[in-house]
Amino acid sequence: MPTPSVGTTRHTTPQRHHVSRLLNNNKKLLDQSQGVGVKSKIPTAELENRFSKLTHLLYDTNVKFKDLNEHVYPLIHEDITFTDPWQTITGKSQFVAQLKGFHSAIFFTYDTLQLSVQVNENEESGRVIVDGWMYLNQVKYITGTIPLRTVLVYDFVFNGDGDTFLITDLEEMWSLGDLIEKIPIIGWFYNLFRFGAGFFFTIFFLICTFIALRLPFSNVSGQPSGKNTSSGGKKSSICSSLNPLNFAK
């Protein structure tokens, strides 16, 4: 199997992070003889059902280790890449270690809003996007449950006889700002900072606009910086004809 170029994952799906690109270029694939990259025999509706259950197993920390061992670990590729706003890791051993720690130390549940499955044209791999809410219950008796809007992106490849798959990439996308906002005291100062930042950027961009409108070489005002060309003249004529004041005449 040829090595994909930079900018794609090893199964030809778009890569999302520069670090992940570098990691993926150095990964070794399982051979075709090991059943990776075969055509799918799983209907789309069944894939949606399986990934819905998989998301629950991964992100509901009430799930027992034995369920992870039985239903999750067999679906993880040896060279999986996991990415979230904090980190990027590669390899099944690191992924499993972090997943166990996640279930041991943090109390989360996940509520899926929508789930979309896309199988590639060759029917050997695909992508799943899950949109939902993660609920942090770590300090619910102090601050209440902390909701965190989260998008999950799975890249996967079919294996075996085409009736199962391996997760090759998993990315969590959530806002650090949403998380900081919910922290007691710190969240109050964060919102105050954002309020002040709104005024700052408004004034900053007003100044930028004021300066740009007065620069002789600026295109912002719509005034030509030099002699009119034929195309420039046409553009000026068109703009003039669309001027609302002309319709009032």
Between 22 and 80, the more confident residue is: 80
52/127 same-domain check: yes
Residue 180 lies in a domain: no
Residues 10, 168 contacting (CB under 8 angstroms): yes
123/216 same-domain check: no
Between 141 and 16, the more confident residue is: 141
Instruction: Specify the number of domains making up the chain.
Output: 2
128/216 same-domain check: no
- Tens of pLDDT, residue by residue over 43-85, are 999 999 999 999 999 999 999 999 999 999 999 999 999 999 8
DSSP per-residue codes, 103-145: HHH--EEEEEEEEEEEE-TTSSEEEEEEEEEEEE-TTTTTT--
Q: Which domain holds residue 164?
A: 18-175
Which one of 175, 206, 237 terminates a domain?
175
7 pLDDT higher than 50: no
176 pLDDT higher than 70: yes
Provide the mean pLDDT of the chain: 78
Residue 220 lies in a domain: yes
CATH of the domain at 58: 3.10.450.50
Residues 38, 161 contacting (CB under 8 angstroms): yes
Q: Can you tell me the distance from the alpha carbon of 157 to that of 28, in angstroms, rounded to the nearest whole number?
A: 14
